[in-house]
Amino acid sequence: MTIDSDAMPDPALSRRGFLCQLGSATIGTFTIPALPGGMQPAADPPVRKLLTTPVRKISKKGIVQITWKEQVAEGVRTVTWIPSTSEELDEANEFYDRAHQLAPESPLERVTDWVKDLFTGSSRTPQEQQLLQAIISAPGQIQPLLDYADWLTAQGNPQGEYIRVDCLLETLPPDDPARVELDARWSELYEKLEPKLLKPLEKLGTSPGVENGIVRTVEIDNSRVLPRKVKQLFDAAPLLREITLSGSFDLEGIAKCPQMGQIESLQLSDCEADDEGLGAIFASPHFHSLTDLKLAGLPLSDELVEQLAQSPISRQLKRLNLDGCELTSRAMESLAKSPGLQQLEDLDLGGNKLGDPELKLLAACSSLRNVRRLILNELRPTADGVQALVQAAFFPTLEVLDLSRSRLEDPAKIAPLRLLPKAQLRELDVGASVPGDAMLTLLSEVPWLASLTSLTIDLCNPLTAEGIRRLVESPHLGRLTVFDAAYARPGLEGVQLLSNCQRLAGLRELKLSDCDLSADCVRSLVESVFADRLEELNLNRNPFGDEGALILAKTPRLQRLKYLFLTEDDFSKDAWHALRQRFGDVLL
């Protein structure tokens, strides 16, 4: 039953809780989760405005999770509902079902789409279609795109100039003086072209994204778009490369669409996907250009993982995200024995709580020789598991490693990192995993510290001045540009050690939120060797008060800051006004 938003809700629906609306329609009144921080609507009954149709996921253990985006005064919030009782589960399922029944599809709508596909055809001329096909056939090459831009300009179409301006902006450094004029021209052209480029796709029920002056990405939460309106979608966005699906879709139907042959990135994390639908995607002959597959959060069965591991697309994937997919040892064994995966550069296995058996299977996988980015957060290993990982053939050539939120509290578990005679690690994240001092002591002793440009060690207590001293005095400390020690509370001495370390002069991002910083700590930071190069500074929730705020507001340094994170409630109105005057939109 659909209820107009201006009408009184059906008494059968108005049992209790919040009056929930999706667009202009009313779902009903449900006891859904309260918004964070007690930010509840003031209306009576309180109204909650959903921006997206709820997505439901059911884990292997039968746990139901319903997620949606919602408009609040402060912006857009993502709300997650995990029912904890049978009564609440019934309520959640009814909420979900009603949200998906709001706008039932009419037979006329289906016939109209069929007629459009049958008689309308493409809106592109044969010459334009030839130019577009040249771009599709040469992914990553710029010249076919510039040839298309020239053709558009010759037709009097301003999109040609828009493509050239956008491509040129991507090649210029941020501080190039030519950017000012080009940015202004880009905005003029975008405003002129938006109705033609984006409106047809938005009307179709998608959220498009522009790259290089053309629509490259779409997010779709309307199940009627695919596969039924696939011709209309690709006619409106003929150079589409990336599709993100959210909600319930006919994946088996999508797998049969030849247009999927040009799709390079497919994001299914927010889908309601079953084994049959995902299996059809894996077996499809049409996804021959797919290099990026995201399945994060989908509970994958052992059989489905094996099907993925043996599928043709496993041989072409460069990025694979299996975060939180509830992978078992059997699933990891299937991945380890896969004849594919040899092109993988980015592998995300985080959130699966992998232990020693799974890590040893991963380490034995000979196909992963090209992996450069490996996400393994939430590990549950012993020292043996970590040692097996470190001794894997691919490990010495990793460039990015994420071990955050893992159980590495025993220093013996990180000791195998000393076994690396050399490494190419550029980014290391051990946040909320290890004792901070123990990790910095280890890093200070290994030569491969010199290659690190980003180190995340947030929530790694204890992190004392002594630990920081070992890091900054290490002969191996190289060219860190990102340092995240949020919640670590290094004290004034620790901040001073960081601020005075000449080898940190190239620091671009510093994150010290919730570190109990005083005004003296702030003074040390604005007088640091890196103050003139910082582009991001996070000092959220620190008690340095108005004195520290005014030190920030009055410093002549920090000229390159693009992002300054502070918590408004920590200061008086006058101090916040001074900060806003000094930093403007940089202040977040």
pLDDT of residue 127 exceeding 50, the answer is yes
532 domain-assigned: yes
Is residue 55 within 8 A of residue 272, CB to CB? The reply is yes
What are residue 482's phi and psi, to 5 degrees? -130, 125
Please say which residue of 79, 100, 121 terminates a domain.
100
Could you tell me the residue range of the domain that residue 53 belongs to?
3-100
- β-partners of residue 319 are 292, 346
d(CA 61, CA 67): 18
pLDDT of residue 116 exceeding 70, the answer is no
222 domain-assigned: no
Q: With cut-offs at 50, 70 and 90, classify the pLDDT of residue 107.
A: low
- In this structure, how many other beta carbons lie within 10 angstroms of the beta carbon of residue 348? 22
Confidence (pLDDT) at 115: 45
d(CA 566, CA 174): 24
Of 572, 517, 527, give the one whose Cα is nearest residue 550: 572
- In this structure, how many other beta carbons lie within 10 angstroms of the beta carbon of residue 186? 18
- Structural domain total, the chain: 2
The H-assigned helical ranges of 256-410 are: 275-283, 302-310, 329-336, 356-363, 383-390
End-to-end CA distance of the chain: 43
Which CATH number goes with the domain that contains 450?
Answer: 3.80.10.10
Please say which residue of 100, 115, 141 terminates a domain.
100
d(CA 394, CA 229): 43
- Torsion sign (Cα): 69, 71, 77, 81: negative
Rounded to two decimals, the pTM is 0.82
50 domain-assigned: yes
How many angstroms separate the Cα of 250 from the Cα of each of 63, 236, 273? 23, 21, 9
Please state at what angle helix 465-472 crosses helix 436-445, rounded to 10 degrees: 20
The H-assigned helical ranges of 364-490 are: 383-390, 411-414, 436-445, 465-472
Picking from 43-57, 81-95, 413-427, 511-525, which range would have the lowest pLDDT averaged per residue?
43-57
Q: With cut-offs at 50, 70 and 90, classify the pLDDT of residue 89.
A: confident
Reported as a single tens digit per residue, the pLDDT across 256-279 is 999 999 999 999 998 888 899 999
262 domain-assigned: no
Please say which residue of 100, 119, 144 terminates a domain.
100
Distance from the Cα of residue 300 to its chain's centroid: 20
Of 343, 322, 241, give the one whose Cα is nearest residue 289: 241
Confidence (pLDDT) at 40: 53
38 domain-assigned: yes
Confidence (pLDDT) at 435: 93
398 domain-assigned: no
562 domain-assigned: yes
352 domain-assigned: no
